């Protein structure tokens, strides 16, 4: 297994070097053209040789940004660290708010066939609705862009956790529940001592799916509401015609999303059990 991991890591590094080399070779800056404006060069214009910035330029820009990630030079000029902090705050607030609702409700749905049949039509109707479709209504009712973005994260996070929790609870082995009844455990004690540990891996899987969706949605939501956040940063840098910053921010979105997934994946492995 260790040998396989080492070989996989080496292969990943080789692939990265090859891809970066191809990107660098194909996207060398064209010769300067006085006839073209900066915008024309950015969009390709009449010069078909115009390209996106090569990796060397993006890495140089990334070094500059990461050297001082928390600077604040005004409303439209904040460091990448501050922008990510705003986005993470919104995502985690909406995510944990959804968990407080979805997990208890998932227990009720999973333990009660009656509640499952009663609530399932509502879940199936609301679940496919795009989270961003709720944004205009949230802005109208809440009248606050920050809280509206958090509400959108709440909406998109709740369904995977609710469905996975209900599935995990409903599929707990009946032998274990019968043993709990034999020991005359109360319903609440059974839920916490037997059902929750057994369903925990499935619940954590739902939470892992939810955090990934939430991180995807916050970028689009912040492009709509503006102000702060990594989504607003991407859109603002595009308006500034700075593709180096756009590509850098895209990479940072991917890195943070990966770290969030790794964190929940680590917790999920801690609650796994062997039958």
Torsion over CA: 193, 195, 201, 206 (sign): negative
Torsion over CA: 72, 81, 92, 124 (sign): positive
- Which among 251, 247, 226, 248 has a CA at the least distance from the CA of 236? 226
Is CATH 1.10.3720.10 the classification given to domain 55-270?
Answer: yes
Q: What is the reported pLDDT for 206? A: 93
Contact residues for 10 (Cβ-Cβ < 8 A; gap 6+): none
Residues of the chain with pLDDT under 70: 1-2, 29-51, 184-185, 273-275
Domain boundaries, given as residue ranges, for the chain: 55-270
> Each residue of 170-218: pLDDT tens digit?
888 777 777 777 776 677 777 777 888 888 889 999 999 999 999 999 9
**How many Å separate Cα 227 from the centre of its chain?**
20
Q: What is the reported pLDDT for 17? A: 87
Q: What is the reported pLDDT for 48? A: 44
Q: What is the reported pLDDT for 2? A: 67
Q: What is the reported pLDDT for 32? A: 52
Q: What is the reported pLDDT for 182? A: 75
- Which among 227, 223, 222, 230 has a CA at the least distance from the CA of 249? 230
The pTM (predicted TM-score) of the whole model is 0.84
- Which among 244, 218, 243, 241 has a CA at the least distance from the CA of 231? 218
């Amino acid at each position: 297994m260790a040998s396989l991991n080492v070989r996989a890591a080496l292969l990943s590094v080789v692939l990265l070097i090859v891809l970066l080399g191809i990107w660098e070779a194909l996207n060398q800056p064209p010769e300067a053209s006085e006839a073209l404006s900066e915008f024309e060069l950015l969009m390709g214009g009449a010069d078909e040789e115009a390209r996106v910035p090569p990796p060397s330029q993006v890495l140089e820009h990334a070094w500059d940004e990461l050297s001082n990630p928390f600077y604040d030079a005004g409303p439209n000029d904040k460091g990448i660290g501050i922008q990510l902090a705003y986005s993470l705050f919104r995502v985690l607030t909406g995510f944990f708010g959804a968990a407080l609702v979805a997990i208890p409700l998932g227990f009720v749905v999973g333990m009660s066939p009656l509640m499952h049949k009663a609530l399932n039509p509502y879940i199936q109707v609301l679940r496919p609705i795009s989270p961003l479709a709720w944004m205009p209504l949230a802005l109208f009712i809440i009248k606050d862009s920050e809280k509206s973005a958090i509400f959108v994260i709440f909406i998109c996070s709740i369904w995977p956790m609710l469905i996975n929790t209900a599935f995990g609870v409903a599929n707990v082995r009946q032998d274990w529940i019968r043993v709990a009844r034999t020991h005359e455990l109360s319903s609440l004690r059974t839920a916490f001592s037997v059902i929750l540990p057994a369903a925990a891996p499935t619940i954590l899987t739902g939470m892992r799916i939810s955090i990934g969706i939430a991180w995807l949605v916050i970028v689009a939501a912040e492009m709509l509401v503006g102000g702060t956040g990594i989504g607003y940063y991407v859109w603002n840098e595009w308006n500034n015609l700075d593709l180096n910053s756009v590509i850098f921010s895209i990479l940072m979105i991917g890195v943070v999303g990966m770290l969030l997934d790794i964190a929940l994946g680590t917790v999920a492995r801690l609650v796994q059990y062997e039958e």
